[in-house]
Structure formats: structure tokens, C-alpha cells
Amino acid sequence: MNAAFFETAATALPSLCFEQPPACGLILGSGWSQVLIPDTPLLRLSYADIPGLGASTVVGHAGELLLFERHGIRIAAFLGRRHWYEGAGWGPVVLPVELLRRMGTRNLLITNASGGISPNLKPGDLMVIRDHVNTVGINPLIGPVIPGWGERFPDQSQIYSPALIDLLRKAAYDTEVPLSDGVYAFTSGPGYETPAEIRAYAGMGADAVGMSTVPEATVANAAGLRTAGLSCITNMAAGISGPHLSHEEVLGQTRKTAPVMAALLDAFLARLATSL
């Protein structure tokens, strides 16, 4: 992964993407793309048409870049993501962050579907990410320092922006949507975690677990973007409830929770618009 990789992808984007910096970038995980409410769609581009990104291989990820206007602001949304477990390396995983940086975006909201670890969470709950644990031990900043990604050893004491978290809390108040907060544990996937691993993550202080978000947040923080993370708890993690876990269960729960997800996401964008 090098600067040329990102340059090739950026060159393929229509000039419209760079005419006006989006007020917010979105990277939407499983089930989240379907709840987006765009007022004025300006551009829809398949991931297959963005060099280095490529079509999504996971059910529930639309695989499109959508540029649109809502609440009087411009938003660039990546509908679906690539994952480390797909085997294509870190490039496709963090490419949306770098493209958003090049567009001039200063704010980023990353969403996902995750498994609940904390007994205070249940399927259908929404959780703002306060902090994270990278259980994998590797990250996309390994290798040459990419121009625009800051210094060699970026500070990570506050990856998730208190200002954006405050807007999410205000959006939850506006919509009367219950919103928890917690620590998110990142695992490589694609296998779900074992009960013993979940007990270990709980001991580390993790409240939820998933296979995404942390790589993107790590790069966004290094690149100077204000970042927030939002999880939909779709199931309880291994060993807590249920005989087995499945991706179908994840998608089924996001469909049930879709109205609440849509309300909170749209209220967040409205709050962001008034804060600028």
C-alpha cells in the first residue's frame, strides 16, 4: 500500500467529488446503507468502478459511493465496506477514508453491526463507540508513512471525537432513541469469536465486538479527521446466548432496527448541519 495506490483511485472519481468538500463522510456497515435518507442525490458510483476498492463481497453491503445533499449540507457516503478478512489487504479497507480526506471532508461517521458483550446491551440497541481495543495486533499504519496521514507515531488517546459523540447524543435526544456507549473490540474475522475469546475481551473492558471500523478509525485519526463510531447490536456474542451465530441473524436484526437507525442517523446529520 502506497501513495500511488490512492492516487489511482482518486483520479478515477468524477470531478464533482472535489468541487465542494462534503460536510460529512459516512462509511456504512451491514444494514446501515438501507436506512440512509438522501434529499438530493448528486452521484452514485459502484465500487467496481473505483480502482483498488472493488465490488463488495459481503451480503448486506451495497458497494456504492453516494454523494448527496441533506439538511442543506453535502455528504459523501460509502454504502458498505471492504474487510481485512476478504484477503485483499489494507488498501481497500481504508481507501474510503483516504478518498474522503482528499475530498476535503473533516467529519466522519463510521457505522457497523456488532455482537453484544456487556450484559447492559441487547439485540436492537444502538451504541456510540467511546473507545476501542484492537485485538488483532496489526493495523493499516504499518509500512511507509502515507502523505496526509500525519506523523509516524500518531496519538490515539482520543480517536473518537467528543464533539461528534455529543452530536450523536443530542440526535438521540431529538428522536427519543435510546443510545448506549461502550468500548468496541476489533477482531479479524471471518470466523465469529469463541466463548473463551469473548470472556477475554470482556476482561479487557470491551462492550461489543465486530470485524470492522477500527482500521478506518485508526487511519482517520492519523489523517486528522473528526471521527465517530456507531454500532447496532445485532446479537449477543458467543457463549452469552443462543446455540450459534450467523450473518443472517445480523441482517435480520438490522432490518428490525432499521426505523430507529434511520431516525438517529438523519438526526445526527441535521445536528451536524446546524453546528457548522
Whether 149 contacts 223, CB under 8 Å: yes
Mean pLDDT of the chain: 92
Q: Is the pLDDT of residue 61 over 60?
A: no
Please say if 196 is a catalytic residue: no
Catalytic position from the list 3, 46, 55, 85: 85
Give the span between the Cα atoms of 124 and 127, in whole angstroms: 10
Over residues 196-217, the mean pLDDT reads 97
Catalytic position from the list 10, 30, 118, 228: 30
Give the pLDDT of residue 70. Answer: 96
> From the centroid of its chain, how far is CA 261?
14
Please say if 113 is a catalytic residue: yes
Please say if 249 is a catalytic residue: no
Catalytic position from the list 171, 185, 235, 237: 235
Catalytic position from the list 1, 33, 61, 217: 61
Of the chain, the percentage scoring pLDDT greater than 90 comes to: 82
Give the pLDDT of residue 18. Answer: 97
Check whether the bond before 190 is cis (ω within 30° of 0).
yes
Return the SS3 of 266: helix
Q: Look-up: residue for cell 444502538? A: 126
Please say if 120 is a catalytic residue: no
Predicted model pTM = 0.95
Which DSSP letter does residue 102 get? H
Give the span between the Cα atoms of 161 and 190, in whole angstroms: 29
Residues facing residue 116 across a β-bridge? 208, 236
pLDDT band at 241 (very low <50, low <70, confident <90, very high): low
